[in-house]
Structure 1
Amino acid sequence: MGNGTRFIMSQGDITRKDNSICFRKGNKNTYMPVEATKELYLLNEVNLNTKFLDFAAKAGIVIHFFNYYGYYSGTFYPKEYLISGNLTIKQSEAFIKNRIHIAKAFVKGIGINIYEVVYHYYKHDKKETKEFLDWIKKDFMDVLDKTNDIKQILFIEGQVWMKFYDNFKYFLPEDFLMNKRVKRPPDNPMNAMISFGNSILYARTISQIYHTHLNQSISFLHEPSEGRFSLSLDLSEVFKPAIVYKTIFELVNNKKIQVSKHFERKLNYCLLNEAGKKVFIPALEERFNSVFEHAKLKRKVSYEAAIKYDGYKLIKYIFEGKDFAPFSLKEMM
């Protein structure tokens, strides 16, 4: 993968070999130059030791661990090198004084990006989506503007996702529809892809925030108590429609991913198999690395860089009071 991102999908051992990372599977060794590696995604059972972790830490490599079901388990990253006590204090103050404003900005961003994704299909003769699009423009935005209660904001966010899922039937083939969003474990091919894609996006967001001065544990939409990296949950939500769902829809509608070939089914769950991951991961990476002309910055920006840019926008809001509006597909020229 480009941009220093490496995925390991098989069981094996990972060690240091001179100035390279060595992944051993059976009798075969694969070498990755350390200077060209920024992130490792371990998607299977991989053996490593503290000696390797020390090597990775000194090289500035972030390592994300996933369990058998494709869920994010945790992250090892080097000692934080961008620590700002002043920003942490200001971030805490923003949570106390301006949490509602920031949380509403995130949910509004989710709605705008879902609208843009579905509008693409409306333009291509999927006129059944009009009712949902009209709801986002009017009812969703009106109710969100009027509320000042965090539970109500979260309820509104849940509504827009549920209505989004309900509109899949208008532009996806029948074998990729789902009755409802089921996460742990996913119960059908669509839920399997959403869960896996969201996990990778969340891990990528952790890596991007690591390169800012923001405190990962102080979030605004999600409760800070939900997890160590709850701010990454906030920032990643806005990017799900643009990165995860657009990738899924293109793979499904272009028949690049198929129910019969790319999924493993057991009694109560469904997962991408290794062949499925070999299709899904490169498509998702291509989306992360693809660039667009940013209307405000007046230059080309990748989706991955846009995540970190949202972190900087949040810092600007916290320090300077500049209005915070997260990533929007409307920013693309």
Structure 2
Amino acid sequence: MGSTRYIVSMGELTRKDNSICFRKDGKNVYIPVENTKEIFCFNEVSINSKLLDFLSRNHVIMHFFNYYGGYSGTFYPRDQYLSGRLLIKQVELFQNNRLTIAKSIVQGIGDNIAEVLYHYYKHDKKEVKDVIDRIRKDLLNRIEEAESVEEVMSYEGEIWARFYASFQYFLPADFILNKRVKRPPDNPMNALISFGNTLLYAKTVSAIYRTHLDQRISYLHQPAERRFSLSLDISEVFKPVVVFRTIFELVNNRKLQVEKHFDRKVNYCLLNEDGRKIFVEAFEKRMETAFLHSKLKRKVTYRTAIKLDCYKLIKSILEGQEFRPFSLKEGI
């Protein structure tokens, strides 16, 4: 799957000569380090310091996830792109113009959600028109007039709630979402959203690592301890395009089915190993989907678009340019 390697089974990861070796059930699978940028571990995997040193020298990031598919943490090689000047300017932007950046992010979320829903409106799901109009004609205007980040985030919550409520018009009944529950997810749709959001968050951590931005200083989400809050900011506008389009395709085409691909217990619901493999494959395919970038006049993938949003933010920080996050409609 390109530069990303996914490990969904129990096993052991070691260095073997100049390759990464995954040992499972007495068999070795070799992963070339040259074209590996990140490793996702979704099961119990044994590692040692020799491997971590090897990954660090080759700038390979390793993400770890817990039993519920939630993000646990990242092995983050020594920063190779340190910039004290950018760090100072990034903090100054937070202090002086945080609200403007927060508004741009939530407006981007609303625009992209409306554009995703417009696809279903064009395919005779006329019921979603009210949701699209509510977002574009009301909520986005209220965001523009908001006077605090807290107010902006309340409108963001309303946008997502209306989006979730629209699922009833174009998804099978067993995937309709009544309430968003995260830790742990309590039904198949919540399980898919949590898993997809976690994948996208980790992808964004990797993208920011390869820029001069500081992961800890964010604008929409409150900077906090024990998390990379800027990754939450950058990834938000891509959720409707990458995560939810992946979910809708898998569900509506019955590639994921409740009875086959989920483990259900009394108080939680998770994708099983087969379900995760199907989702990861579709997610990676979506990340590598190319579209014509209206400003660059060339095709770029969604993976590249995430990195381009990082560069847009850097230009805003250093040069005062307006930050406009990725727009599905405009292709920028």
Q: If the length of structure 2 is used for normalisation, what is the TM-score?
A: 0.99
- Aligned equivalent of 1:322: 321
Q: Deviations over 1:128-178 (max 9, x none)?
A: 111111111111111101112111111000000001000000000101112
- Aligned equivalent of 1:94: 93
CA contact (8 A) 1:15 1:21 kept: yes
Q: Deviations over 1:103-137 (max 9, x none)?
A: 00000000000000001001100011111111111
Please tell me whether residue 156 in structure 1 is matched to residue 161 in structure 2.
no
Quote how far apart the aligned CAs of 1:252 are. 0.6
- Aligned equivalent of 1:274: 273
Unaligned runs of 5+ residues in structure 1 are none
- Aligned equivalent of 1:48: 47
Q: Residue 17 of structure 1 aligns to which amino acid in structure 2?
A: K
In 2, the alpha carbon distance for the partners of 1:280 and 1:114 equals 21
- Aligned equivalent of 1:178: 177
Quote how far apart the aligned CAs of 1:34 are. 1.1
- Aligned equivalent of 1:66: 65
In 2, the alpha carbon distance for the partners of 1:226 and 1:50 equals 26
Q: Residue 273 of structure 1 aligns to which amino acid in structure 2?
A: N
- Aligned equivalent of 1:290: 289
Q: What secondary structure does 2:216 align onto?
A: coil
Q: What secondary structure does 2:279 align onto?
A: helix
Q: Residue 231 of structure 1 aligns to which amino acid in structure 2?
A: L
In 1, the alpha carbon distance for the partners of 2:219 and 2:92 equals 11
- Aligned equivalent of 1:230: 229
Question: Deviating runs (4+, > 3 A) in structure 1?
Answer: none
Quote how far apart the aligned CAs of 1:51 are. 1.3
In 2, the alpha carbon distance for the partners of 1:217 and 1:99 equals 14
Taking every aligned residue pair, what percent have the same amino acid on both sides? 61
In 1, the alpha carbon distance for the partners of 2:324 and 2:331 equals 14
Q: Residue 70 of structure 1 aligns to which amino acid in structure 2?
A: G
Q: What secondary structure does 2:150 align onto?
A: helix
Aligned ranges 1:126-145 → 2 under 5 Å: 126-145=125-144
- Aligned equivalent of 1:114: 113
Q: What secondary structure does 2:9 align onto?
A: coil
Please tell me whether residue 307 in structure 1 is matched to residue 306 in structure 2.
yes
- Aligned equivalent of 1:21: 20
Please report the RMSD computed on the Cα atoms of aligned residues, expressed in angstroms: 0.9
Q: Residue 33 of structure 1 aligns to which amino acid in structure 2?
A: P
Change (3 A) 1:63 1:330: same
Unaligned runs of 5+ residues in structure 2 are none
Q: What secondary structure does 1:75 align onto?
A: strand
Q: If the length of structure 1 is used for normalisation, what is the TM-score?
A: 0.98
In 2, the alpha carbon distance for the partners of 1:220 and 1:60 equals 27
Please tell me whether residue 188 in structure 1 is matched to residue 187 in structure 2.
yes
Q: Deviations over 1:47-106 (max 9, x none)?
A: 101111011101110000000100111011211111110000000000000000000000
CA contact (8 A) 1:19 1:33 kept: yes
Quote how far apart the aligned CAs of 1:295 are. 0.7
Q: Residue 51 of structure 1 aligns to which amino acid in structure 2?
A: K
CA contact (8 A) 1:296 1:331 kept: no
Q: Residue 322 of structure 2 aligns to which amino acid in structure 1?
A: D
Quote how far apart the aligned CAs of 1:226 are. 5.2
Q: What secondary structure does 2:81 align onto?
A: coil
Aligned ranges 1:192-271 → 2 under 5 Å: 192-225=191-224, 227-271=226-270
In 2, the alpha carbon distance for the partners of 1:34 and 1:227 equals 29
In 2, the alpha carbon distance for the partners of 1:176 and 1:195 equals 14
Please tell me whether residue 169 in structure 1 is matched to residue 150 in structure 2.
no
Quote how far apart the aligned CAs of 1:228 are. 3.4
Q: Deviations over 1:293-333 (max 9, x none)?
A: 01111111110010010000001111111111000101339
CA contact (8 A) 1:43 1:65 kept: yes
In 2, the alpha carbon distance for the partners of 1:302 and 1:39 equals 17
In 2, the alpha carbon distance for the partners of 1:92 and 1:148 equals 20
In 2, the alpha carbon distance for the partners of 1:201 and 1:168 equals 21
